[in-house]
Amino acid sequence: MRDFKKYDIWQLRHSFTLEIYKITSLFPKEELYGLTSQIRRACSSIPTNISEGCGRNSDKEFNQFLNIALGSANETEYLLILAKDLQYLNNEIAEKQIEKINSIKSKIYKLKQVLV
C-alpha cells in the first residue's frame, strides 16, 4: 500500500484546498450552498481521490482514482473561472489559483504515465 502523504502531488493539493477554503470564505453568503460549497467539494475531491487510490492494491485501480482527481481538477478550474467572472475573485487571485491547478493537473498526468 502506498502512503499518500509522501506524494508531493497530494501535499500540493492539500495546501491548495486549504487556500481555496480561505478564499471562498469571502464569497457572498448567498453562495454558501451554491458556488462556495461546489468549489470546496471539487477542490477537496482531488486529494481525497489521490488518498483513496493509494489504498488500492493495483496500479490500474490507482490510475482510475487519478482519473477522477483529474476530473475534479478540471471542475475546480472552471469554478475558479466562474468565480472570477462573477467578480467574487479578483483577476490576480483567480489567475494565481488557476496556474496552481494547471500545475497540479500536469503532475497528475505525469504520475499516470508512470503507472501505465
CATH number reported for the structural domain that contains residue 21 in this entry? 1.20.1440.60
What's the length of the chain? Answer: 116
> Is the pLDDT reported for residue 77 higher than 90?
yes
| pLDDT, mean of residues 79-90 | 98
> Residue 102: which residues within 8 A CB-CB, separation 6 or more?
77
> Is the pLDDT reported for residue 4 higher than 80?
no
> Is the pLDDT reported for residue 52 higher than 90?
yes
pLDDT digits (tens, 9 = 90+) for 16-26: 999 999 999 99
Identify the domain containing residue 62 by its residue range: 4-115
pLDDT of residue 3: 78
Task: Please give the DSSP secondary-structure letter assigned to residue 87.
Answer: T
The domain tally of the chain equals 1
The pTM is what? 0.90
pLDDT of residue 96: 96
| Whether the Cβ atoms of residue 73 and residue 101 lie closer than 8 Å to each other | yes
> Residue 88: which residues within 8 A CB-CB, separation 6 or more?
26, 27, 28, 31, 35
